[in-house]
Amino acid sequence: MFEMTGLAKALDTESEKSLYNACGRFTERFERLEKNVNKAGINIQNVSPEVVKILWENAK
């Protein structure tokens, strides 16, 4: 965590704002993944990690 704060300072960015934005992007992407899974009628608990990875990439 301290390394990331130091990097943010070196790049002249606000570390808290960057973290907030990253969390927001993650949440949006996860919600798209859920929407796609529900639309396709897939039970996420019954798929392999490889399929979850593909679904995650498709949610981009």
Of the pLDDT bands very low, low, confident and very high (cuts 50, 70, 90), residue 59 is very high
Predicted local confidence at residue 24, as pLDDT: 96
pLDDT digits (tens, 9 = 90+) for 7-58: 888 988 888 888 899 999 999 999 999 999 999 999 989 999 999 999 999 9
Whether the Cβ atoms of residue 40 and residue 46 lie closer than 8 Å to each other: no
Which residue has 């859920």 as its token pair?
34
Is the pLDDT assigned to residue 1 strictly greater than 80? no
pTM for this entry: 0.75
Q: Report how far residue 32's alpha carbon sits from residue 12's, in angstroms, rounded to the nearest whole number.
A: 31
Predicted local confidence at residue 26, as pLDDT: 96
Q: Report how far residue 18's alpha carbon sits from residue 59's, in angstroms, rounded to the nearest whole number.
A: 21
Containing structural domain, residue 24: 2-58
**Number of domains forming the structure of the chain:** 1
